[in-house]
Amino acid sequence: MEIEINTPILELNARHAESNRQLLAKEQVYMLDIMASPGAGKTSCILSVIDRLRSQLRLAVIEGDVASDVDAQRIKQAGLTAVQINTGGACHLEAMMIARALDALSLSEIDFLIVENVGNLVCPTEFDLGEHARVVILSVPEGHDKPQKYPGIFASADAIVVNKIDTLPLFDFDMAVFKETVKAMNPTAPVFTVSARTGEGMDDWCEWLANQVADVVG
């Protein structure tokens, strides 16, 4: 006899995710889940988004990490509210964790809530947080073959961001192959090529984000 433990865990998570979704709808808050490998530049991208959208949207961030609050401190230094979630070893955020973070936030003062998930290209895929959209960030140094190695997370993304394109001359990253691979598994997801360091491409991604938020908060 086999006992499938994932089913009850995911069912419980789904119930909390739906509760989060209802709360966000009530408060008219758009929540984005950002997923990536460690070192892909999630926090740097978030800070770049903040710089471009803070004049038109009220933003806050939920930071997920196995340990430490280094990234949350960077967000706070930029002048934004940040809630830290330390998973204590878990490789992903879960909807119940997000629910607790939402309780700690003044949602009536937020339009756009960014969740930085734990650095991982496997575990976060299965866990709905109640978010409106998911973005996967891949950095050029990681290689163009990552969608082939981790198809689940790329297939489920609402948008894909290739970060650190300023390093393209230094790495054997075939952008055409990457885009072709992504399109085959996720034909509707836009691909944005950016550099959080130089700002290249960030305006296009931020315009897409602002339009997504506007559909929810008006």
- On the question of pLDDT at 2 being above 50, the answer is no
Q: Is the pLDDT of residue 17 over 90?
A: yes
> Residue 192: inside a domain, yes or no?
yes
Number of structural domains the chain divides into = 1
Residue 1 is assigned to a structural domain of this protein: no
Give the model's confidence band at 15: pLDDT under 50 very low, under 70 low, under 90 confident, else very high. Answer: very high
Mean pLDDT of the chain: 93
Backbone angles phi, psi at 117, to 5 degrees: -70, 170
Residue 70 lies in a domain: yes
3-state class percentages of the chain: helix first, strand second, coil last, to nearest 5 = 45, 20, 35
Host domain of residue 62? 6-217
**The domain that contains 209 carries what CATH number?**
3.40.50.300
pLDDT at 5: 47
Checking if the pLDDT of 61 tops 90, the result is yes
Q: Which amino acid is at 179?
A: K
Mean pLDDT computed over 29-55 = 97
| Residue 201 included in any domain | yes
Q: Please, is 167 exposed, middle or buried when counting C-beta atoms within 10 Å of its C-beta (0-12, 13-18, 19+)?
A: middle
Q: 162-193 pLDDT, tens per residue?
A: 999 999 999 999 999 999 999 999 999 999 99
